[in-house]
Structure 1
């Protein structure tokens, strides 16, 4: 793509690297704290990974639609809808392959890729039908309205807790508990329908940064300072808002959106300055392997992890899945519990990188 920004591909590759690393940590009980999500309120570096990818989707939308002169033609409309549906389809293929134990009554409708698909679809149509000067007002409106909805429809006094928030209530009403994520101890989906609303804001922030990059295309040296100023300002606003609307990834709180958008501006601004302004090339190709084939990298990592979880190996008098077997029989004996978990995660990333490197060298890129 002629409008492609090299630093954006590198940032995407870095994000995919982080996503695979934290999703496959060998043993969650012995993972270093920064490689785990916050249990509820709070923030860790791991919590930044998914919103960073959504932020990047927003930046990429701006680059992609330049080829259509930002006109919502029937062709572009069909392209957006087709891509949205394909991302949904890929999600179900990844998580239910090879469909031997598929149960429609326990299908989890929403997940990481569906949230990306919905954000991409909404923001695409929004920016194609709305003048850019109104986008900031819309973004602010999304975050304030979401705060009001959670405060109004959550349980009085505890509207932002796991069992009492409006997100879970709506999902249970619409989908039923069997179609939700159960990893938090009760049916609650961190990619729920209602919490997709502020995720749209995360994506929209990325698009607005892309607008800024276009405005500064003749003055690239100014990008770093401006993005750092805006990033720090958003972080400060997030910390202030945290006192009444806690930073929380699992409910995608408005303060969480601002914090992640601010951090992403710092990161993208820095990478853009080093790569697109200063022309630095260190580690570029390593991250481009993931960055130019993000869907392939994510899909392969998830399919591999899921299938390893199904493949059982003998261990003592019982059997354990192959990922646990590798941790307890290879990595933990060699590196210890915490370092073994980290070594497993890094090894898993390198296996996925090697797979994608073959496609990268052959210039084969999976596009949806």
Structure 2
């Protein structure tokens, strides 16, 4: 079953009049909604054997559009951290209160992740402790606490640089016990013979031996393992740096114009993309290992996307035009209740896979409700990339319904 993720770490939802309060950056809400919708789309293809290349992850080194989804989530988490801290401090909250809030929210996200993995059979021996939500919780926790200590862009960039370089040094120069030195005894970033995979196998082995639980998503490795969370925190901090830049164009006394803000985001994005592509020569772009080059490349793409949304929404006021209201509304609805979008998609997917019918599928296996719907409604004349994608689109639309109801009732669910 596909692992799913969502930007559970979001700030207060957008207003139902599609007009952001002064403390918000509406373009961030729009980008969040687009990202969540795309997350559900790529996770829920009707037939995993028939998927458009750009709607599935790269097998190893390299990237597809799907590989940009999760880092964009974390990037937006980083943006939201700064905007939330600034808003809460203005309302009189202390840094101690914010630290407690950050820890509580991170723990809540982790607990939600574990519950979703356990329901309905609660088989602890097969519990995956790593995962998308677990990584979001950890990145939010550490990045949030760092941002409470310092909100200077130079400090956050320095911390990020140290994380990325340190991760490169670990993966490139540190010998993998029992296997050897990368590039000398073993290939660099070998799928199973790398330091991150070795560490994750050791950790899960300890969990199985002493706690009788834990597993790795890909048996011998995990794309959301412990060591690769270090550069993932860097992705989150880069989003926080972007938020500090956005704040310079907001408020009653902005230090830069909105046009300068958009240009700065765009140039920073292009620079990060270029830096990631250059580093790719020595440390390949790899989503499953969350390499340092991948951090820069993916963050650059997120910056370009944010710049485009900022230019359209906050400068050109596209959402205030007749067509713009229609085009912007779905993304605001999705982004306003990220928790609901995630929970609905997760529960619906799991339910459809658990329900078994009496029908026999084309491969001779008993069909689940998921497979029955796909083969009898979408692929009755054969499965193709198009039928698989259409199923995913319809799945997104079904998950959209609860969010519409909550939007109309002005209910914003928060952790």
Q: Does the Cα contact within 8 Å between 2:117 and 2:127 map onto a contact in 1?
A: no
1:172 aligns with 2:198: no
- 1:201 aligned partner: 234
- 1:135 aligned partner: 156
Q: What do the CA deviations read for 1:258-311 (whole angstroms, capped 9, x no partner)?
A: 001100010000001101111112221111111011121012101111111111
Q: Does the Cα contact within 8 Å between 2:200 and 2:226 map onto a contact in 1?
A: yes
Cα deviation for residue 362 of structure 1 reads 1.1
- 1:80 aligned partner: 102
Q: For 1:275 and 1:233, locate their aligned partners in 2 and report how far apart those are by CA, in whole Å.
A: 23
- 2:303 aligned partner: 265
1:304 aligns with 2:348: yes
For structure 1, which runs of at least 5 residues remain unmatched after alignment?
none
Cα deviation for residue 326 of structure 1 reads 1.6
Cα deviation for residue 72 of structure 1 reads 5.6
Q: TM-score by structure 2 length?
A: 0.84
Structure with more of its chain in helix, by fraction: 1
Count of aligned pairs between the two proteins: 364
Indicate the SS of the match to 1:110: coil
1:290 aligns with 2:334: yes
Cα deviation for residue 324 of structure 1 reads 1.6
- 2:83 aligned partner: 63
Cα deviation for residue 171 of structure 1 reads 1.4
Q: Does the Cα contact within 8 Å between 2:118 and 2:124 map onto a contact in 1?
A: no
> Of residues 320, 329, 342 in structure 1, which corresponds to 2:367?
320
Q: For 2:97 and 2:103, locate their aligned partners in 1 and report how far apart those are by CA, in whole Å.
A: 10
Q: What do the CA deviations read for 1:36-61 (whole angstroms, capped 9, x no partner)?
A: 00011110000000110100000001
Q: Does the Cα contact within 8 Å between 2:135 and 2:229 map onto a contact in 1?
A: yes
Q: What do the CA deviations read for 1:210-265 (whole angstroms, capped 9, x no partner)?
A: 00111123311112221111111111111111111110100000000000110001
Q: Does the Cα contact within 8 Å between 2:75 and 2:302 map onto a contact in 1?
A: yes
Cα deviation for residue 334 of structure 1 reads 6.0
- 1:231 aligned partner: 269
Q: Does the Cα contact within 8 Å between 1:180 and 1:188 map onto a contact in 2?
A: no
1:149 aligns with 2:143: no
Instruction: Please identify, of 296-305 and 48-57, the stretch whose mean Cα deviation from structure 2 is larger.
Output: 296-305
> Of residues 313, 329, 332 in structure 2, which corresponds to 1:275?
313
Indicate the SS of the match to 1:179: coil
Q: What do the CA deviations read for 1:7-65 (whole angstroms, capped 9, x no partner)?
A: 11110000000100000011111111000000111100000001101000000011111
- 1:243 aligned partner: 281
> Of residues 96, 115, 138 in structure 1, which corresponds to 2:135?
115
Q: Does the Cα contact within 8 Å between 1:84 and 1:120 map onto a contact in 2?
A: yes
Cα deviation for residue 131 of structure 1 reads 5.2
Q: For 1:36 and 1:293, locate their aligned partners in 2 and report how far apart those are by CA, in whole Å.
A: 25
Cα deviation for residue 328 of structure 1 reads 1.5
Q: What do the CA deviations read for 1:68-126 (whole angstroms, capped 9, x no partner)?
A: 4398633222111110110011112222222xx22222211111111111111101111
For structure 2, which runs of at least 5 residues remain unmatched after alignment?
1-11, 13-20
Indicate the SS of the match to 1:162: coil
Q: Does the Cα contact within 8 Å between 1:95 and 1:303 map onto a contact in 2?
A: no
- 1:192 aligned partner: 225
Q: For 2:224 and 2:370, locate their aligned partners in 1 and report how far apart those are by CA, in whole Å.
A: 25
Q: For 2:165 and 2:302, locate their aligned partners in 1 and report how far apart those are by CA, in whole Å.
A: 21
Cα deviation for residue 313 of structure 1 reads 1.6
Q: For 1:7 and 1:270, locate their aligned partners in 2 and report how far apart those are by CA, in whole Å.
A: 9
Cα deviation for residue 336 of structure 1 reads 4.9
Q: Does the Cα contact within 8 Å between 1:22 and 1:46 map onto a contact in 2?
A: yes
Q: What do the CA deviations read for 1:173-198 (whole angstroms, capped 9, x no partner)?
A: 1222762334x4x3211111111100
